[in-house]
């Protein structure tokens, strides 16, 4: 077993998953302002250190993805953020892309940037304690989208990123996200997601990336958020498994889904059924941002001094997601 494979398994085994707390300052500002909290470095740190010092980190979270600002911060009780995370047994990770920019010659699509100087930045993040990283390629579905240009160029960037990250002895999370926006059917999402993921693996293989030392972070197969095609959780799980079986090489140890705008309950229920129906060898778990933090953020915003209630809300959500990662979640447990 390679060192990278060991790290990947440590993050996602035994019902553990990933807390995606790597919102850029722009995105975090939107999240905080939506609950009437000013987005200052202090407030961003305050909310995050409450989550990172929660009990649930010890049992259910294998890794926390951070943003550059956060990995450099020190908590109000004097511990560095990477130390706080490691002291609960989870591994600190870091988002290393610098964001999705307009793709030249295809103005409605995006290309993720951040390769320039990446080798040097990775060295610094490793010294700060990071043991895994994230890079997100983003694709929209439309009549002509995602185009071959967007599929090929984002796959190429994800592969160059992954090779550099493994060279730095860290595990790359490979995240090709097909957005939920639009009126497309679940079958269109299935077709496009399969095409995008297959191209990513073609490029990863061309760049000699060790597939046993990555974690894939895909979207689930869902109809667009403006689609009339409403499907059951059972169908979501079947289509998601069909997609991954057809497009992910068997060497990959695990898949950690993004929540992508699903509610906390939807993201939990869908993951639960994916695991109940999982007839693959892939570990299937969560790498949720909004679906782990949404309710905790609401509770915190009502009284930012009420650490206990914020942590109780977060602990419950994480526990439910961990049960779902083992296929053992139920509505009864959710409401207990």
Residues that bind ligand 13P (CB under 6 A): 20, 136, 175, 258-260, 288-291
Specify the residue, 131 or 290, whose C-beta has the smaller distance to ligand 13P.
290
Specify the residue, 82 or 289, whose C-beta has the smaller distance to ligand 13P.
289
Which residue lies nearest ligand 13P, judged by its C-beta?
289
Specify the residue, 7 or 297, whose C-beta has the smaller distance to ligand 13P.
297
Side-chain-side CA neighbours of residue 70 (13 Å):
31
Which is the catalytic residue, given 23, 49, 109, 175?
A: 175
* Residue 334 designated active-site: no
Which is the catalytic residue, given 217, 264, 269, 319?
A: 217
Minimum gap (Å) between residue 91 Cβ and ligand 13P: 16
Q: Alpha carbon 300 to chain centroid distance? A: 22
Which residues pair with residue 178 across a beta bridge?
139
Minimum gap (Å) between residue 25 Cβ and ligand 13P: 15
Minimum gap (Å) between residue 323 Cβ and ligand 13P: 18
* Residue 217 designated active-site: yes
Minimum gap (Å) between residue 175 Cβ and ligand 13P: 6
Minimum gap (Å) between residue 21 Cβ and ligand 13P: 9
Specify the residue, 82 or 260, whose C-beta has the smaller distance to ligand 13P.
260
Query: Residue 206 in contact with residue 169, Cβ under 8 Å?
Result: no
Minimum gap (Å) between residue 289 Cβ and ligand 13P: 3
Specify the residue, 78 or 314, whose C-beta has the smaller distance to ligand 13P.
314
Specify the residue, 29 or 251, whose C-beta has the smaller distance to ligand 13P.
29
Minimum gap (Å) between residue 291 Cβ and ligand 13P: 5
**79: its two tokens:** 């511990």
Specify the residue, 10 or 290, whose C-beta has the smaller distance to ligand 13P.
290
**307: its two tokens:** 């650490």
Mind spelling out the 3-state secondary structure of the chain?
CCHHHHHHHHHHCCCCEEEECCCCHHHHHHHHHCCCCCCCHHHHHHHHHHHHCCCHHHHHEEEEEECHHHHCCECCCCCEHHHHHHHCCCEEEEECCCCEEEECCEEEEEEECCCCCHHHHHHHHHHCCCCEEEEEEEECCECCECCHHHHHHHHHHHHHHHHHHHHCCCEEEEEEEECCCCCCCHHHHHHHHHHHHHHHHHHHHHCCCCHHHCEECCCCCCCCCCCCCCCCHHHHHHHHHHHHHHHCCCCCCEEEECCCCCCHHHHHHHHHHHHHCCCCCCEEEEEECHHHHHHHHHHHHHCCCCHHHHHHHHHHHHHHHHHHHCCCCCHHHHHC
**Known catalytic residues?**
175, 217
């Amino acid at each position: 077993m390679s060192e990278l494979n060991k790290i990947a398994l440590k993050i996602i085994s035994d019902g553990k998953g990933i807390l995606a707390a790597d919102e850029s300052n722009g995105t975090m500002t939107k999240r905080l302002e939506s609950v009437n909290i000013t987005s200052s470095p202090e407030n961003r740190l305050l909310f995050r250190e409450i989550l990172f010092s929660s009990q649930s980190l010890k049992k259910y979270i294998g890794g926390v993805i951070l943003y550059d600002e956060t990995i450099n911060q020190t908590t109000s009780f004097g511990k560095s953020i990477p130390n706080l995370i490691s002291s609960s047994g989870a591994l600190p990770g870091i988002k290393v892309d610098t964001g999705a920019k307009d793709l030249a010659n295809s103005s409605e699509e995006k290309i993720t940037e951040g390769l320039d100087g990446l080798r040097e930045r990775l060295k610094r993040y490793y010294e700060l304690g990071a043991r895994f990283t994230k890079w997100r390629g983003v694709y929209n579905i439309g009549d002509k989208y995602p185009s071959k240009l967007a599929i090929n160029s984002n796959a190429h960037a994800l592969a160059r990123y992954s090779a550099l990250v493994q060279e730095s002895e860290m595990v790359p999370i490979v995240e090709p996200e097909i957005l939920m926006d639009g009126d497309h059917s679940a079958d269109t999402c299935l077709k496009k997601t399969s095409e995008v993921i297959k191209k990513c693996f073609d490029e990863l293989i061309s760049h000699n990336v060790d597939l046993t030392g990555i974690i894939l972070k895909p979207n689930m197969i869902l109809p667009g958020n403006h689609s009339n095609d409403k499907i059951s959780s059972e169908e979501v799980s079947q289509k998601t498994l069909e997609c991954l079986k057809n497009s992910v090489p068997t060497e990959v140890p695990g898949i950690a889904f993004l929540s992508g705008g699903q509610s906390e309950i939807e993201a939990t229920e869908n993951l639960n059924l994916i695991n109940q129906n999982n007839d693959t060898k892939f570990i299937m778990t969560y790498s949720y941002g909004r679906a782990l933090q949404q309710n905790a953020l609401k509770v915190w915003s009502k009284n930012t001094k009420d650490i206990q209630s914020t942590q109780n809300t977060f602990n419950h959500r994480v526990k439910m997601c961990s049960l779902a990662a083992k296929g053992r979640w139920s509505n009864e447990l959710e409401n207990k």
